[in-house]
Amino acid sequence: MKRIETVIVGGGPAGAAAACGLAALGREVMLIERSCAPHHKVCGEFLSVETQAHLRRLGIDIAALGAVAIERVSVAAGGRMVTAELPFRALSLSRFRLDRALLQCAAERGADVKRGVSVRAAARDRERWTLRCDDGEAIQCRNLVLATGKWGLRGIEDGRDASLVGLKMHFKCPPEMQRALGGLVELSLFDSSYGGLELVEEGVANLALLLPRAVAARIGPGWPALHVHLAVAMPRLAERLHGAEPLWDKPLAVVCPSGGHLHADGGAEAFRVGDRLAHIPPFTGDGLAIALTSAALAVEHIRQGGAPRAYLAAARRVTAAPIRLASVVSALVANRSGRAALMLAAASIPGLIDLIARRTRLPVPSPLPGLRGAPARLAMWQSRR
């Protein structure tokens, strides 16, 4: 049986960033990713200022990957549209490119990256975890970092619901659509649903939607059926997509919890990062920030020999307030009267969208909250790169 100090299950941004950080510190770390090669994932592909700061610390050159600048947000609901400047300069980049760059970073730093392998079950005995993989291998580790995204892992409890479905499509944009979306993210709100549209690299637009599972099941698979639904539910969004060429036959899909979710304190024996730790309503665009912030916190606690429960407490202090506010706004826009009130307030009160955008952000990671001496340790970490 192979024994490793730290095993990370999942090679998305949270898992790959944790592997980068631990490997940079010279720690023994294995990352297990079930996919054999880079692939697209359901995501708004919005890089907030916090996300950008983490990626720079990891040595990821976002500009070289083709990231697109986003400086404004437009919110549409009930025939009304409000546009505002973002309180920061965001970027947009496909998960295909971002995930590939982060996994390359982990491997180059010295992490043992196993691809095309799935962990079927995890069990804890005293101070060690035993992982059973589908290739027949059994692995023991002292630290388990759970970074499986929306997917659970047998043997580890998860209290989230799965009442919503996230969908994603990519489109090749005609020139007029590229000009209209330049520097802009468009949000469209409907009953218990919303969509976001923005450019990513090379003239491609990313459409991300969140729908109730019953609605998604009624629509059925394939882009044509979804397009018909959007023409009724979000006509402005459907009109914006006129002339765009869908790059896939059908959207990617994943189940999601409603509102925000933050893992409870009880039974914390693994380092949960990314969506396994917390889920913030996607309209905030801070899901990637949670992934990278939680990864950095997990790295620092593992470096210090800290317990998962102490890590969880620190992560909750960072994420709880933004998730609470985002959940309130998400509940408000889920019904027609709430959307109408919010849109009226946004049109009448200058700076309201700016305020919501600021208050649903995680703290910029300098220093990492909740850790004594973090700035000095982070500086040492950076100097070793």
Looking at residue 130, which CATH number applies to its domain?
A: 3.50.50.60
Q: How far apart, in whole angstroms, are the C-alpha atoms of residue 159 and residue 261?
A: 9
- 84-284-281-293 Cα dihedral, nearest 10 degrees: -170
The pLDDT value recorded for residue 365 is: 54
- 299-301-307-308 Cα dihedral, nearest 10 degrees: -50
Average pLDDT of span 61-76 = 96
Neighbours of 161 (CB within 10 A): 11
pLDDT at 265 over 90: no
The band of 384, judged by pLDDT with boundaries at 50, 70 and 90, is very low
Partnered with residue 76 across adjacent β-strands are: 81, 188
Residue 129 lies in a domain: yes
Residue 42 lies in a domain: yes
Mean pLDDT of the chain: 88
The band of 379, judged by pLDDT with boundaries at 50, 70 and 90, is very low
Residue 126 lies in a domain: yes
The pLDDT value recorded for residue 320 is: 92
The band of 261, judged by pLDDT with boundaries at 50, 70 and 90, is confident
Residue 228 lies in a domain: no
Average pLDDT of span 173-178 = 95
Residue 20 lies in a domain: yes
Average pLDDT of span 264-284 = 84
Q: Which of 190-194, 273-277, 365-369, 372-376 has the lowest mean pLDDT?
A: 372-376
Residue 207 lies in a domain: no
What's the number of domains the chain is made of? 1
Residue 373 lies in a domain: yes
What is the extent of the structural domain holding 326?
2-71+91-159+261-338+360-383
How buried is 117 (Cβ within 10 angstroms: 0-12 exposed, 13-18 middle, 19+ buried)? Answer: middle
The pLDDT value recorded for residue 374 is: 38
Is residue 34 helix, strand or coil?
Answer: coil
Residue 180 lies in a domain: no
Percent of the chain beyond pLDDT 90?
Answer: 73
pLDDT in tens, 114-161: 999 999 989 988 789 999 999 999 999 999 999 998 766 655 555 566
